[in-house]
Amino acid sequence: MSRGDRRVVDLVERLGLVPHPEGGYYREVWRSPLVLPGAALPTGQGRDRRLMTSIYYLLPQGERSRLHRVRSEELWLHHQGDDLLLGVGATREAAAERERFLRLGPGADATFQAIVPAGHWQQAEPAPGAHGYVLVGCVVAPGFEFEDFELAQDD
C-alpha cells in the first residue's frame, strides 16, 4: 500500500466517509436548521429545502466525480491533497472540455474555491500529484437533496 493509499484509508475512517454514487467518498457534515419554503425557490425544486448543506468529498487518484448536475448552486472548497480538476458547463459537452477545466488547490495556477451555477453540468478528478488524493468540501444552497441530483447516464 502506498503512502497515498494509506492516507485515503485514514481519511475515509477518520471522517466516516462512505462511497458516493458519482464516485469517490463523502459524508454530509452540516444541514442548516433554516428552511426555505418551496414557493420561494426556483421552478422545479418544488418542496421546502434546507438553506444550505455541506459535505466532505474525497477523490483518490484514479477515481473521478462522474458527470452530473444539481438544481442548486454548489461551492467547491479545496482542503488538502493534490489539486482538483473541475469541469463545469451549461451543457454536458462544455463540462467535458478538458482545456477549460478549473484547477483548485495549492498549485501555482489554481484557486482554492469555485462555484458551479445551479443546473450546470460538472465533473471532477484529482490532478496528478504526490498525495494520491484530493479532499474538498462542497456547500450546496439551497440544500442538497438526492432528488435534485442527475447523473449523466452515458458517462
The total domain count for the chain is 1
Find cell 483548485 and name the residue.
Answer: 104
Residue 111's domain comprises: 3-151
Please write the tens of the pLDDT for every residue from 62-97: 999 999 999 999 999 999 999 999 999 999 999 888
Grid coordinates representing 153 are 447516464
Q: How confident is the model at residue 1 (pLDDT cuts 50, 70, 90)?
A: very low
Tell me the DSSP string of 90-126.
SSHHHHT-GGG-EEESSSTT-BSEEEE-TT-EEEEEE
Where residue 112 sits, what CATH number does that domain have? 2.60.120.10
